[in-house]
Structure 1
Amino acid sequence: MLVYLGRRLNLLFFTLLILCIASYTLAFLFPGDPLTNLSGNPISSEDQAQQLRMMYALDDGYIAGFWQYLKLTLSGEWGLSLTSQNPIFADICQFLPASLELSLYAMAVSLLVGIPLGIAAGLNHRRYTDMSILSVSLVGFSMPVFWLALLLILIFSLQWGGLPMSGRVSLIYEIPQYSGFMLVDILQADIDNKKQVLMDALHHLILPTLSLSIVTCSLVVRLTRRSVINVMASDYIKAAYAKGLSRTQVFWHHGMKNALLPIMPQLAMQFTVLLTNAMIVEVIFSWPGIGEWMMQAIYQRDFPAIRGGMLAVSALVVIVTICVDLLIRTIYPLSKKQLHAQV
């Protein structure tokens, strides 16, 4: 286990190092002055330019400059946004929790709906129930996330008018930010009509969560169905039937655990897919997350914010993937030779 842990940590270190090198190189590839792209400070005088060049060690060569950039990045000095002049690291810490919140809720919905449907389809293999669930999951898996989000807005917001189409909460409410997770902040806040505000936030959460979870739920259904079919056709299941156990006893005592364990790594890895898809959904629903923030930075040609956002999202995906891989390796040792995280 220690050897495996060392390999994963080694992979994590070199992957993050490559991401930092790519982020530093982007400052020289983007249009404009590399010094402005690194710091986010418009150069107004020669003295200011000289101070910034010393700060980023640009006169000492690429390697020395990258080493200085790496030390500033690790200390949280990611530069300033060209448009707002806010620290980029502070903006990322402000907007990233909204993306994580949306991804976590979508993942929970996908598992709560997809696993029971996959089990029902697997237990009724090649029957009407199986064919119906498999057909619906195929349709859901084939839908592009952005098209599905627009379709939900058209039906539930514009035609029926029952659900809001943008934002995390109505503008009439002012919620103090503690953790960045809207529902948690509402429960912690000392405000009037807390129940009403909480229901309003849940209404805003429905459509973005559905847009993300439908595609992932379809994949969960297909993975669970295939695993249940393989397990129920195995020899030890046939032996359990030979002992006189009922179909329900066989599945819940012998089939359930063995069907879910092999697909746990694949299900856990869907969180990173959800996180990247959430960046698309945020733009459509004006959800104030890291994706919507980066899109505004692209529109405004805010190159320091683009560079910092790409580094933050890429590093988060890599870290989550490696951590999930280590967790699964701990609780499911058979994954050592069968399933590994793909970075």
Structure 2
Amino acid sequence: MIYAFCRRIFLIFINLFLLSLVSYSIFMRDPSNISFSQPYFFSGYVSYVGSLLKGDLGITYNGGDSLNSAIFTVFPPTLELCFFAIVLAFLFGVPLGIVGAFNKNRFYGKAISGLSSFGVSVPVFWVAPILLYFAAIYGWEISAVGQYNVLYEIPPVTGFTAIDVWLVNVPYRIKIIQNVFQHLALPTLVLAISPTMEITKLVQRRTEWILSQNYVKFSMARGWSNLTILHRYVCRNTLPILIPALPRLITFTLALSMLIETTFAWPGIGRWLILAMNQQDYNSVAVGVIIIGLFIMAVNILAEFGLFLLDPFGKKGWLNNAR
């Protein structure tokens, strides 16, 4: 087990090295950073990594603002959007998958299966402007761009507007809260399409496999209700498989959110990176790559740790690797 743990730590360091190397290569594309690698490429790389380890991310080359404050400004809105989309995906995806599995031979069971396969491939960057257009034409209250109306002022405390809005102490706070969630609704709905369909497909396939087992068929023959089978067998054996799929879902959702942020004028890291690339601000792009890579690595580590605690077969795998 100790050997398996050390091997994972070693792989983490390898990933960190490759991530820093990619970031440094982007950083060196700026002609003004050429002197940074003098007299040798390796010495410049060591200085660059040393600055990152100290928490000094540098400044933007278009405006001279601190990248530390910029990251803390643009990354929380993206995480906020991804969080609500993932929660919405679970709320809809798990019930749809279970209903589709229990009724796989009926019309709506087959419809759920076909819809989940089709929904995964739907391009959200194409759906987003269409839904925004219809929302504006028909006067939907959620037809809004940005995080909230510019007439309101929400002091940043945590960086997450959905949390900070509850800390505002003004007479019209309820109106501000309503405005924030109206702005959040449409991008969340668009972003949740693909992960919802992915979760539906995973849950439906797993549930169908469980329902085909002999012990479940025996329970059905004894007259057990679908709710009892759902509680005894399906939930306990289906929901844990979503834990190893969670890093992929979060990474997928993060990538999709970076595509739709420009459409909804969402002040997230995706829109910020696109603007930095248009302005050839390679320092900002390099730091953005580092931050996104570290976040994805952290999600993978937390998912592995959660699976290790909850899944006895995962612990057995760690023990087998140690032998």
Q: Which residue of 2 aligns with 1:248?
A: 227
For 2:233 and 2:306, the matched residues in 1 are separated by 24
Q: Structure 2 stretches of 5 or more lacking a match?
A: 318-323
Output the amino acid matched with 2:229. V
2:91 is equivalent to residue 92 of structure 1? no
SS of aligned partner of 2:76 = helix
2:68 is equivalent to residue 69 of structure 1? no
Q: Which residue of 2 aligns with 1:46?
A: none
SS of aligned partner of 1:172 = coil
Distance 1:81 1:218, change over 3 A: same
Q: Is the 8 A contact 2:244 2:304 kept in 1?
A: yes
2:306 is equivalent to residue 307 of structure 1? no
Distance 1:253 1:161, change over 3 A: closer
Quick one: which of 132, 138, 144 aligns to 1:165?
144
Report % sequence identity.
Answer: 27
For 2:299 and 2:246, the matched residues in 1 are separated by 13
For 1:150 and 1:262, the matched residues in 2 are separated by 34
TM-score (norm 1): 0.87
Pairwise CA RMSD: 2.0
Q: Is the 8 A contact 1:269 1:324 kept in 2?
A: no
Q: Which residue of 2 aligns with 1:26?
A: 26
For 1:166 and 1:234, the matched residues in 2 are separated by 49
2:192 is equivalent to residue 194 of structure 1? no
Shift in Å, 1:337: 8.0
Output the amino acid matched with 1:23. S
For 1:261 and 1:23, the matched residues in 2 are separated by 35
Q: Is the 8 A contact 1:231 1:255 kept in 2?
A: yes
Shift in Å, 1:154: 1.3
Aligned length: 318
Quick one: which of 229, 234, 240 aligns to 2:213?
234
Output the amino acid matched with 1:145. V
Shift in Å, 1:268: 4.6
For 2:273 and 2:211, the matched residues in 1 are separated by 47
Deviations along 1:16-74, one digit per CA (max 9) or x if unpaired, are 1111112112233x252324xxxxxxxxxxxxxxxxx5xx5x43422222112111111
Shift in Å, 1:139: 3.2
Quick one: which of 138, 156, 159 aligns to 2:135?
156
Which protein has greater RCO, CA pairs closer than 8 Å, 6+ apart?
A: 2
TM-score (norm 2): 0.92
Aligned residue runs from structure 1 range 1-343, under 5 A: 1-28=1-28, 30-35=29-34, 56=36, 58-335=37-314
Shift in Å, 1:107: 0.1
Q: Is the 8 A contact 2:308 2:314 kept in 1?
A: yes
Output the amino acid matched with 1:298. M
Distance 1:72 1:125, change over 3 A: same
For 1:321 and 1:81, the matched residues in 2 are separated by 30
Shift in Å, 1:336: 6.1
297-306 or 219-228, which deviates more: 297-306
Shift in Å, 1:304: 1.1
For 2:135 and 2:314, the matched residues in 1 are separated by 42
For 2:229 and 2:26, the matched residues in 1 are separated by 57
